[in-house]
Amino acid sequence: MGLFRNKNGKLRAWLRLLMFYAAAAGAALALMVALAAALPSSQVNKLHPHSLAAVNPWLLAFYGLVVVAAVAAAAVVARGLLDGKAPLASLGLSPRGAPAGLSLGFGGGILFLAITCGLIALAGGAGFRPAFSAPAALAAATGPLAYFAVLAALEELTLRGYPIKVLDESWGRAGAVLSTSTVFSLLHLVNPGAGVLPLVNVALAGVILALLYLQSGSLWLAIGFHWGWNFAEGGVFGFPVSGVAFNPRLLEVATKGPAWLSGGSFGPEGSVALTATSAVLILLLMKRRIPYPKTPSGVVAGGAPI
């Protein structure tokens, strides 16, 4: 036993995570620098958290996809070389599990946010009107749909994915869920409108996503849920997504009443309605393992052995 290795001779969790993040950051930085050099400076300068509403969502999705590729590669290499595990299967990223996981998660995320936004509206905290005529609505949805898919994949690969597997094996499930959810919340500290209630709700969202992953064995499911959540929030109902406004959106929202009800400038994550719906969902997820399709080999379709 020592600072760098445990009693089994395996690299300690903190060192494996440090190596993973260093590799991911290095690969992503190299790719982003190359892209920034190839794109006009006017487009690069728009990529700032407070001005995303003015940026082409397809440009954001393209940049994000480059970073996703770097993080995914780092996760696969770390899981295989540092942990000695089958990378895709143990990370819940089996390609065969992608269609079911993404579709189930996406639908669940939309439903969850629809219920939350409905509660806010019923309590008098928000009203909605169409932002587009029917023929233009479908075209308006495609950009946010692509961007939020990439954002969800990036955040799940970076904060759950490989990190939560390492922490689950080293600290246990509770430690892995609580630590990653706390970090997830703190990363939103600089977002516009952040405060105590919004950060608590972001932490609860982190718990939901972590439980979806660990209880099903499929990271695709967590990615899909995160994708549906953000798309419904910003692309459909027109709320800010954790304080950041996006265009285009299918509905225009007019918030009313106190911020603790409407969510204020932070969006539904700033509302007690989301606190309530999150608490209910977390209790449901804690009580039972998520049934998930198996392949003939007895492996969860997302990839994790059961």
pLDDT tops 60 at residue 126:
yes
Encode pLDDT of 222-271 as tens digits. Answer: 999 999 999 999 989 999 999 988 777 888 899 999 999 999 999 999 99
Amino acid code (one letter) for 34: A
Residue 298 counted as domain residue: no
Percent of the chain with pLDDT over 90: 60
CA 255, CA 126: separation in Å to the nearest integer?
4
Question: Which parts of the chain are beta strand (E)?
Answer: 126-130, 251-255
pTM above 0.85, yes or no: yes
pLDDT on residue 135:
56
When the pLDDT of each residue in the chain is averaged and rounded to a whole number, the result is 85
Tokens 């105590």 correspond to what residue? 196
Read off the pLDDT band of 115 (50, 70, 90).
Answer: very high
Most trustworthy range by pLDDT among 44-53, 87-96, 142-151: 87-96
The whole domain housing 31 covers 13-287
Mean pLDDT of 167-185: 94
Residue 304 counted as domain residue: no
CA 80, CA 71: separation in Å to the nearest integer?
14
Q: How many domains does the chain have?
A: 1
- Inter-CA distances, 70 with 25, 117, 260, Å: 8, 34, 38
| CB environment 111-128: b (16+ within 10 A), e (fewer) | ebbebbbebbbeeebbeb
- Collapsing DSSP to helix, strand or coil, 11 comes out as strand
pLDDT on residue 296:
37
Residue 297 counted as domain residue: no
Encode pLDDT of 190-226 as tens digits. Answer: 999 999 999 999 999 999 999 999 999 999 999 999 9
pLDDT on residue 300:
43
Residue 268 counted as domain residue: yes
Mean pLDDT of 275-281: 97
Read off the pLDDT band of 112 (50, 70, 90).
Answer: very high
| CB environment 144-162: b (16+ within 10 A), e (fewer) | bbbbbbbbbbbbbbbbbbb
Residue 2 counted as domain residue: no
Residue 6 counted as domain residue: no
Residue 98 counted as domain residue: yes
Residue 300 counted as domain residue: no
Which residues, other chains included, contact 128 with Cβ-Cβ below 8 Å and sequence gap of 6+?
A: 121, 237, 238, 251, 252, 253, 254
